Amino acid sequence: MNDKRGLHVELAVVEALKAKDMDQLAVYVHPDKGGRFSPYGHVDIANDVVFVKDELPSLMESSRIYRFGAFDGAGEPIMMTFSDYFHKFVYDVDFANPHRIGNNIVIGKGNTLENIREAYPNGVFVEFHFTGFDEQYDGMDWKSLRLVFEQEGGTWRLGGVVHDQWTT
């Protein structure tokens, strides 16, 4: 996926996330729909937090607590600042250097009902995937970051940031 300048948008976005550069991330976020942040593979359209591009630059410094869904298994609400959420559910490993990259292919699969195609019927996604980190877990410690893009005015725009991982 290239933008009007010929840059690979998905790589620019993952690099902005790695650098925690929310100003740069805002450049790519969908201007009308904003960017939805989903902590697990099941995108909850009604309840996942959506930020408009003007909100993004100040999020890392904000002390505001948001409800980002519920923790898998426990069901307890995920109540965090954006910065805390970012470190746990957006860029918790170096997704700019993954084991595998999938284009419109879900690589990481676990017990969570994944619904990315239903949640974003006009979107395409790139998955940055780690197959696992510790041999003793035999791949059950995998992690993925899926970046969802939709076209707006001939430009690919970020509409969703979906973190996923092995869940019990």
Residue-averaged pLDDT of the chain: 91
> What are 27-51's pLDDT values in tens digits?
999 999 999 999 999 999 999 999 9
pLDDT band at residue 2 using 50, 70 and 90 as cut-offs: low
pLDDT of residue 133: 79
* Strand, helix or coil for residue 2: strand
- Which residue is associated with the tokens 């410094």? 61
Q: Indicate the domain borders of the chain.
A: 9-165
1 neighbors 152 (Cβ within 8 angstroms): no
Architecture per CATH, domain 9-165, reads as Roll (3.10)
Q: Is the pLDDT of residue 73 over 90?
A: no
pLDDT of residue 25: 97
Sign (positive or negative) of CA dihedral 16, 28, 72, 69: positive
pLDDT band at residue 168 using 50, 70 and 90 as cut-offs: low
pLDDT of residue 32: 92
Q: Is the pLDDT of residue 3 over 70?
A: no
